[in-house]
Chains A and B, each alone.
Chain A
């Protein structure tokens, strides 16, 4: 990487009213991505040798976890208490809560188990908003085209159609749960335009959309008479029938005392979210502490097919400064509102509302070619020009982006006067478990919803589709799981799938000393005990 300007020099040269040269001619997007997007880094991708996706490309660090040994064995289960329920939801973010509520609405007894606290998730941090085609000039068809195109046509059209068709009903359902959205003076829902879309379609609650959604859903779940919640109980393994071909429950571990317990159930819904805390390719992340890809590991060992395991979203505008907020997001909503990106020379270099992968690759190009800005505390970035936005629309930041101001206030930065230094941050897992429109994986009895599921966003997600997906598919999975399997439940619970996976590892000559799921990132000193 060529060195650009120091932060002090760049700040001294910065003027919010400086004349901007026209945007330079853009190179072919595919070339840009192949040279600069982190998915295309040399050595970042390998080929899986065992499991349902053997032979497929996979990000290297993720492959290590997918081809690892289970953390428990049959002997560990002796004496573990057994709980019976109709539907087990693993994960307490937006998708898990939507699934639990939908299953309970359809008469199921629901147990929701979550690794940290109910609501500790990526959902709570989502800022920009949620997509729903509700404006007069917009349509579900356009929403579908935007989603497929931004995903480089790798998404499953049937899943995308289901998601966009659910959009308006999802918003109504959220309002019925008690979620607020910003309105125009006439009472319409206020909409913004996201990068890579053809119409304003993002509805939002200031820049606190995820917080508003999560606290409402958390309260709805906690207050629901048909749902039981177990905090601090991560799933460490799934359970299968004696042939290892149907999911019949899960093994949970208490974070407090590490004791194991068995949950026996008709259906399991994985809603475990993403894997930003694996810090793939050494990137910082916007994700919450628990995002360690557990759901992918459990599903893969159980035999569920996954997809797009070599495709991740690096959000273009992660914070660089201060270090403790490194990788945390500045919402795309601010670019949707008109904020520009400038390099160290104070010039634009990309259309800011291109899809996220393009903008991300363009920022990395600027920094690698010596047009980045380097703070003393390490790292590199480009300017997000908030002062110019504020000059053009005085008061906008305070009205629409209170979260950004509150967060930077703690760090002693005022984005109304000073541009924000940003660099791409590991944000989202584009792929995941293969599902159908009911959220069913390729393993009977096992459902997946939210970020852990794949097939919707193709190889790049547009803003606002994550919040839509978690509610839309969370509810679909919850309903299907509640109504499925009116047999008399599982007769025998086993770890047959674990034995099968171990045999496959041994046959392939892969090491058996690595174990997964990881549950918490290593820097939390999770293994240390007093």
Chain B
């Protein structure tokens, strides 16, 4: 898949996990790691930026940032370090614990007590590879505006790089996901679906299969 001698631009020299690697400029950091024989790069999943697995720390000169390796390209002189997967979650809840929609705000404060302590340092916003307005989302959640907060996290891939950037240990990705889930759990009641479920309750679907018309 990767051939570091193929034509198409000057080879790029960079460092991945401490190992010097030569790559082609159009390669992503993942491809460069494979082509360069960097061992044990298994924190890789979808290769298209939606699974959030290939978290890297990136150094360009004085500038240090975080990114997803599958959508970051090889550049001369940069250093990339694959990060370990996120630590286990500190929060614990099951949606079935919720019985009354009036209690959501109170329960939210118990589950994510850190969410109200945001100091607006922008670390989460800077670290998000998807450009999510994380800080605004957290403020909306802290104010009990769960639907709007959840919408802010639509494109979240749960890489949790925001989490690692937060000095107050808010887990923003999980807060965003909580907001989305609680909104669906309590408020998504589509009439067309409910009507069909009711029809099926009265007359369950049965098919022998041989009635199928050609």
Q: Give the B-binding residues of A (Cβ under 8 A).
A: 116-117, 119-121, 124-125, 132-136, 140-141, 144-145, 148, 157-158, 160-161, 164-165, 168-169, 171-172, 175-181, 183, 186-189, 206, 208, 210-212, 215-216, 218-220, 222-225, 231-232, 255, 288-290, 322-325, 328, 377, 402-403, 406-407, 410, 520-521, 523-526, 528-530
Q: Is B181 close to A, CB under 8 A? A: yes
- For B38, list chain A residues within 8 Å (CB): 525
B interface residues, how many (CB within 8 angstroms): 67
Instruction: Taking A232-B42, A377-B8, A521-B1 as given, write out 4 further A-B residue pairs in contact, using a Cβ cutoff of 8 Å, ordered by the A residue number.
Output: A176-B95, A189-B190, A216-B181, A529-B40
Closest to B49 in A: A407
- For A181, list chain B residues within 8 Å (CB): 184, 188, 190
Residue contacts A-B, CB under 8 angstroms, 10 given: A117-B53, A134-B193, A140-B207, A165-B205, A180-B188, A188-B192, A324-B70, A403-B50, A523-B2, A524-B42
Q: B65 CB to closest chain A CB, in angstroms?
A: 15
How far, in whole Å, are A157 and B211 apart by their CA atoms in the complex? Answer: 10
Q: Is B183 close to A, CB under 8 A? A: yes
- For A529, list chain B residues within 8 Å (CB): 39-40
Binds A, one of B102-110, B116-124, B135-143, B152-160: B152-160
- For B85, list chain A residues within 8 Å (CB): 117, 231
| Given A134-B192, A179-B184, A183-B190: A410 touches B49 (CB 8 Å cut-off) | yes
Contact at A216–B177, with CB atoms within 8 Å?
A: yes
- For A530, list chain B residues within 8 Å (CB): 39-40
Contact at B28–A161, with CB atoms within 8 Å?
A: no
How far, in whole Å, are A183 and B47 apart by their CA atoms in the complex? Answer: 30
Closest to A148 in B: B212
Contact at A206–B154, with CB atoms within 8 Å?
A: yes
Mark interface residues in B23-51 (1 if CB within 8 Å of A CB, else 0): 00011100100100111111111111111
Report the number of A-B residue pairs with Cβ-Cβ less than 8 Å. 196
Q: Is B100 close to A, CB under 8 A? A: no
- For A225, list chain B residues within 8 Å (CB): 94
Q: A162 CB to closest chain B CB, in angstroms?
A: 9
Contact at B150–A323, with CB atoms within 8 Å?
A: no
Partner of A157, one of B31, B48, B209: B209
- For A158, list chain B residues within 8 Å (CB): 209
Contact at A180–B191, with CB atoms within 8 Å?
A: no
Binds A, one of B56-64, B162-170, B196-204: B196-204
How far, in whole Å, are A158 and B209 apart by their CA atoms in the complex? Answer: 6
| Given A407-B48, A525-B38: A208 touches B193 (CB 8 Å cut-off) | no
How far, in whole Å, are A116 and B45 apart by their CA atoms in the complex? Answer: 7
Closest to A323 in B: B26
Q: Is B148 close to A, CB under 8 A? A: no
Q: Give the A-binding residues of B (Cβ under 8 A).
A: 1-2, 8, 26-28, 31, 34, 37-51, 53, 70-71, 85, 89, 92-95, 130, 150, 154-158, 174, 177, 180-185, 188-193, 195-197, 200, 204-213
- For A223, list chain B residues within 8 Å (CB): 89, 92-94
Partner of A141, one of B174, B191, B197, B207: B207
- For B209, list chain A residues within 8 Å (CB): 144, 157-158, 160-161
Contact at B34–A119, with CB atoms within 8 Å?
A: no
How far, in whole Å, are A178 and B178 apart by their CA atoms in the complex? Answer: 8
Contact at B184–A524, with CB atoms within 8 Å?
A: no
How far, in whole Å, are A165 and B199 apart by their CA atoms in the complex? Answer: 12
How far, in whole Å, are A288 and B30 apart by their CA atoms in the complex? Answer: 13
| Given A145-B213, A188-B192, A324-B28: A119 touches B2 (CB 8 Å cut-off) | no
Closest to B207 in A: A161
Q: B154 CB to closest chain A CB, in angstroms?
A: 7
- For A403, list chain B residues within 8 Å (CB): 50, 155
Contact at B26–A322, with CB atoms within 8 Å?
A: yes
Contact at A406–B155, with CB atoms within 8 Å?
A: yes
How far, in whole Å, are A374 and B12 apart by their CA atoms in the complex? Answer: 26
Partner of A187, one of B47, B154, B155, B189: B189
Contact at A175–B45, with CB atoms within 8 Å?
A: no
Q: B29 CB to closest chain A CB, in angstroms?
A: 10
Closest to A523 in B: B1
| Given A172-B197, A187-B189, A188-B191: A328 touches B51 (CB 8 Å cut-off) | no
Contact at B191–A186, with CB atoms within 8 Å?
A: yes
How far, in whole Å, are A281 and B95 apart by their CA atoms in the complex? Answer: 45
- For B51, list chain A residues within 8 Å (CB): 117, 119-121, 124-125, 288
- For A208, list chain B residues within 8 Å (CB): 50, 154-155
Closest to A215 in B: B158
| Given A145-B212, A524-B44: A116 touches B191 (CB 8 Å cut-off) | no
Contact at A124–B185, with CB atoms within 8 Å?
A: no
